[in-house]
Amino acid sequence: MVTASNSPMRFDNLLDQCRAFPDEPTLKQVGQLLETASMDDAEVAHRQVSDPSRPYGRHVLLATDKIEAMLATWTPRTWCAPHDHGGSVGGVRILRGRARHRVFRIADGALKLVKEETVEAGDILRCGPSLVHQMRADEDELVTLHVYAGPIEFMRVYEEGKTFIVDGGCGAWVPHDEPALLREVHAHIG
């Protein structure tokens, strides 16, 4: 986890920098971009999408063949499912609020908790290609900015001892109510 600097960047500037990335942005480049991303309350509020039926509401800011940027507005105290990002690299910047963040590894066909931490506004989580993690809002408001090199074509989502391969536009949950987003189900974790 990295704590970002306080130099603000407007959403339009952020998206312009995303568009200017090379064809295959690195984790380091995405992390450096997130370190300068600090949005004012009006910009964030204008783009927030709540979805109390999900762990978070998603507002895709940019989706190209090389980068995806998304704003998440979290449902209070609701965990997203443990998931990876289908091999994509990226990062999460906590814009407002505080979150619990868990990191897992797969061992002997099961998820094993490796680390649990509290992250706060200004903190950045770097998401390598094999990271399996999960988050939740630790209080009433959590807003996060996600930037991924890719875009994310699919994700592995883990629930009840099963591995679900979901469309990259799904979010970190099993889309039981949207079967078109579900690509595969495996009866074991690995």
pLDDT digits (tens, 9 = 90+) for 79-129: 999 999 999 999 999 999 999 999 999 988 889 999 999 999 999 999 999
Is residue 8 very low, low, confident or very high in pLDDT (cuts 50, 70, 90)?
Answer: low
Q: Is the pLDDT of residue 190 over 60?
A: no
Cα gap 116→142, rounded to integer Å: 17
Q: What is the mean pLDDT of residues 13-41?
A: 82
Phi-psi region of 144 (alpha: psi -120 to 50; beta: other; left: phi over 0): beta
Strands (E), the chain: 2-3, 56-63, 67-74, 89-107, 110-120, 123-127, 132-149, 154-159, 162-167, 182-186
- Report whether 167 contacts 86 (CB < 8 A): no
pLDDT score for 22: 76
Buried b (16+ CB within 10 A) or exposed e, 59-76: eebbeeeebbbbbbbbbe
Q: Is the pLDDT of residue 134 over 90?
A: yes
pLDDT score for 140: 86
Q: Is the pLDDT of residue 26 over 90?
A: no
Provide the whole-model pTM. 0.89
